[in-house]
Amino acid sequence: MQTMHSSSISRSPSMADNHQPHFLFITYPVQSHINPSLHLAKHLATTTGAAVTFSTSISAHRRMFSSTPNSDKDFNDGLITYLPFSDGLESHIRGTMDAKEYLSVFRTNSKRNVSILVNELFAGGRPVTCMVHTFLLNWVADIAGEYGIPSVLFWIQAATVFATYYHFFHGFESLIKAHSDEPSFSVCLPGLQQLQIRDLPSFLMATDSDSHYATILDSFRELFEILDREQERVKPRVLINTFQEWETDALASVSTEIETIPVGHLPKEYTNSGAGYLFKEDEKKYMEWLDTKEEESVVYISFGSLSVMKKEQIEEIVQGLKESKRPYLWVVRKDNREKELIEIEEEEGEDVNGMMVEWCSQVRVLAHKAVGCFVTHCGWNSTLESLACGVPMVCVPQWSDQGTNAKLVESLWGCGVRSEVDAGGVVKGEELVKCFELIMGNGEKGVEIRTKAKMWKDKAMDAGIEGGSSDLNLKAFVDKSCGRV
């Protein structure tokens, strides 16, 4: 593509008149941001006919398309164009920087290069009509404003978490900070169920201004300041990766100030797509292994793409699995292997009761009839996927929004339990066995949990099909973005 200086083109919404709607997704380069953004991008392209360009950093783009020639170049899969931008960090080791330095360098370089990218798309006859971005990318709104292009935040966490942050920055910061060291202290936020301090996003407890938590909280503060400024002109719109039927009250709790648009979905192609993975899928035939197991008999364990388990936690999970004697599929990334896990792998040939993999297609696993329980860190992607597949959860939250999600699973939706932990935050083996028996056993509570899990799955499927709430919300958003209404 030809590069043009930003001052050489007209910055006006009218520059895209008479062109097909073109949505440019700018996504932070980690798996938990890429997954929901790419699913939304595909759904938007297939259901509305809009042109979609998906962009993340070159380093993440390379990993997404590592099996293709010239993996750092543009790529089109017949539906979406993938166009990476440089964050200037491709040859550097992120681990040498603290969070503040990393986000500062990332912002400076990415903002400049995404602006160039927008120019190149215009020069190539593909002007952008709307920019969609995840959080930690507040500067995208600046670029969109420069060019007179509408932009919208895609909130990739629960609506309850969005509302919690909103209320924190609008009147509840002092109260929450005053009790940040009291895990059981209850907080009543407008329109939300009662939450304890331990249920709130962990970044809200930041006390050291130089800490990683404080840096992330500052980014969220800036994000909500941007929304506040936008509110002076027009009611801000925020796309949220949830279902109307799941979080009706949370969505309504900020609806006076912000137009929250729930667009969660689980189309059929979602369960079969590996596009967007930053990790290489394990070559073990885990799906074939699941085929040999009885319905709802397997415990699936995964703590996501970022969490690193303590050695003590690994030992306790090993012990719990041995005691429970239930078949299991356990995802442990290569960077989180301990001696105990290596020994398990060496025994796998004889121990047909379990399988350990480095990475897998999680939705395909959760959708398999053999899976009866998901031991999860409760990242929102995992929580949403488990809910949408009707799989009950054992919640082991660690940081960020995970405590809030665990609260929703146990108290609002009733389709799982939050495990108890020791003083070091470790779930003991006997506690895991207790949770397995509660969820997968024949007791009244287990039956109730499994029944509710299936109910929320049905609600998600109804919302995502053509004519469902998420489908209609997304189409209305596109129409409004294009000035059709």
Q: What is the pLDDT of residue 50?
A: 93
Rounded distance between C-alpha atoms, residue 375 and residue 378, angstroms: 9
Q: Are 82 and 71 in contact (CB under 8 A)?
A: no
Per residue, what are the HEC states of 194-224? CEEHHHCCHHHHCCCCCCHHHHHHHHHHHHH
Q: Which amino acid appears at position 409 of this protein?
A: V
Q: Identify the residue whose tokens are 């995840």.
A: 134
Residues 327 and 21: their CA atoms lie apart, in Å, by 49
φ, ψ dihedrals at 284, nearest 5° = -65, 145
Picking from 410, 380, 379, the residue whose alpha carbon sits closest to that of residue 393 is 410
Question: What fold is seen in the domain 159-261?
Answer: Rossmann fold (3.40.50)
pLDDT at res. 92 = 53
d(CA 55, CA 116): 13
> Do the beta carbons of residue 329 and residue 358 sit within 8 Å?
no
Single pTM value for the model: 0.91
Q: Which stretches within 310-397 are classed as H helix? A: 311-324, 339-347, 362-366, 380-389
Residues with Cβ within 8 Å of 304's Cβ and at least 6 positions away in sequence, in order, are: 31, 32, 376, 377, 379, 381, 382
Spatial contact of 162 and 144, defined as CB atoms under 8 Å apart: no
Do 6-156 and 281-461 fold alike per CATH?
Answer: yes
| pLDDT by position in tens, the chain (length 485) | 433 333 334 444 434 444 679 999 999 999 899 999 999 999 999 988 899 999 999 989 988 887 777 666 788 888 999 999 999 886 555 556 788 899 999 999 999 999 999 999 999 999 999 999 999 999 999 999 999 999 999 999 999 999 999 999 999 999 999 999 999 999 999 999 999 999 999 999 988 887 899 999 999 999 999 999 999 999 999 999 999 999 999 999 999 999 999 999 874 544 444 445 555 566 688 999 999 999 999 999 998 755 677 888 888 999 999 999 999 999 987 665 555 555 555 555 545 589 999 888 899 999 999 999 999 999 999 999 999 999 999 999 999 999 999 999 999 999 999 999 998 889 999 999 999 999 999 999 999 999 999 999 999 999 988 899 999 999 999 988 876 55
Euclidean distance between CA atoms 200 and 407, whole angstroms: 9
Pairing type for strands 81-82 and 328-331 reads unpaired
**What is the sign of the dihedral through the CA atoms of 402, 318, 431 and 444?**
positive
Question: What is residue 268's three-state secondary structure?
Answer: helix
- How far is the C-alpha of 154 from the C-alpha of 36, rounded, in Å? 9
The sign of the CA dihedral 96, 97, 103, 104 is negative
pLDDT at 423 (0 to 100): 85
Return the CATH number of the domain spanning residue range 281-461: 3.40.50.2000
Q: Which residues pair with 131 in a beta bridge?
A: 24, 151
| CB atoms near residue 89 (< 10 Å) | 18
Give the number of residues written for the chain. 485
Q: Where are the domains of the chain?
A: 6-156, 159-261, 281-461
Q: How far apart are CA 135 and CA 226, in angstroms?
A: 12
Residues serving a catalytic function are 33
Fold annotation for 6-156: Rossmann fold (3.40.50)
- At 146, the amino acid letter reads E
Q: What pLDDT, on a 0 to 100 scale, did the predictor assign at position 305?
A: 57
